[in-house]
Homo-oligomer: A and B are copies of this chain.
Amino acid sequence: MNKKRTTLKDIANVLSISTAAVSKALNDDTRISVKTKKAVRQVAKELNYQPNHLASALRKGKSKLVGVIVPRTNSHFFSSVVESMEGVLNKAGYNIIITQSNESFEKECNNIDTLLYLQVDGIIASMANETVDLSYYEKIKSNGIPLILFDRGENDLNVDYVGINDYDSSHMIIAHLVAQGCKRIAHIGGYRRTRIFNNRIRGYIDAIKKHDLPHDDELLIESSLTLEDGRQQIEKLLALKNRPDAVYVASDYAALGALQVLKEKNIKVPEEIKLVGFGNEPFTSLVTPSITSISQHSDKIGKLAAETFLGYVDQDVIVQSLNKIILDSELIVRSSSE
Contacts and interface: CB of A to CB of B under 8 A. Distances in A.
A142 B318 contact: no
B3 A318 contact: yes
A338 to B, nearest CB: 18
Interface centre among A65, A79, A102 (most CB of B within 10 A): A79
Q: How many copies of this kind of chain does the complex include?
A: 2
A114 B50 CA distance: 10
Interface string A36-75: 0000000000001011111101100001010000001110
Given A57-B54, A318-B1, A286 B288 contact: no
A317 B4 CA distance: 11
Interface centre among A55, A80, A119 (most CB of B within 10 A): A119
Contact of A97 (B74, B97, B142): B97
Nearest to A145: B3
A51 B113 CA distance: 10
Nearest to A141: B1
Given A73-B79, A74-B79, A82-B73, A50 B143 contact: yes
A76 B74 contact: yes
A318 to B, nearest CB: 6
Contact of A144 (B1, B79, B98): B1
Given A79-B74, A97-B97, A288-B287, A50 B117 contact: yes
Contacts of A65: 118
Given A57-B54, A118-B95, A144 B74 contact: no
A57 B117 CA distance: 11
Interface string A105-139: 00000000010111100000000000000000001
Given A3-B317, A58-B58, A83-B100, A256 B73 contact: no
A51 B53 CA distance: 18
A256 B95 contact: no
Contacts of A100: 83, 86
B5 A143 contact: yes
Interface string A138-172: 01001110000000000000000000000000000
A223 interface: no
Contacts of A3: 144, 316-318
Interface centre among A58, A142, A318 (most CB of B within 10 A): A58
A262 to B, nearest CB: 12
A82 B72 CA distance: 11
A2 interface: yes
Nearest to A102: B83
A199 interface: no
A268 interface: no
Interface in A1-46: 1-5
Question: 6 tightest A-B contacts by CB?
Answer: A74-B79, A3-B144, A54-B58, A73-B73, A98-B98, A288-B288
20 contacts: A1-B142, A1-B318, A1-B319, A4-B144, A48-B139, A50-B143, A54-B63, A54-B119, A73-B98, A74-B74, A74-B76, A83-B100, A86-B100, A95-B118, A260-B286, A283-B283, A286-B287, A287-B287, A287-B288, A288-B288
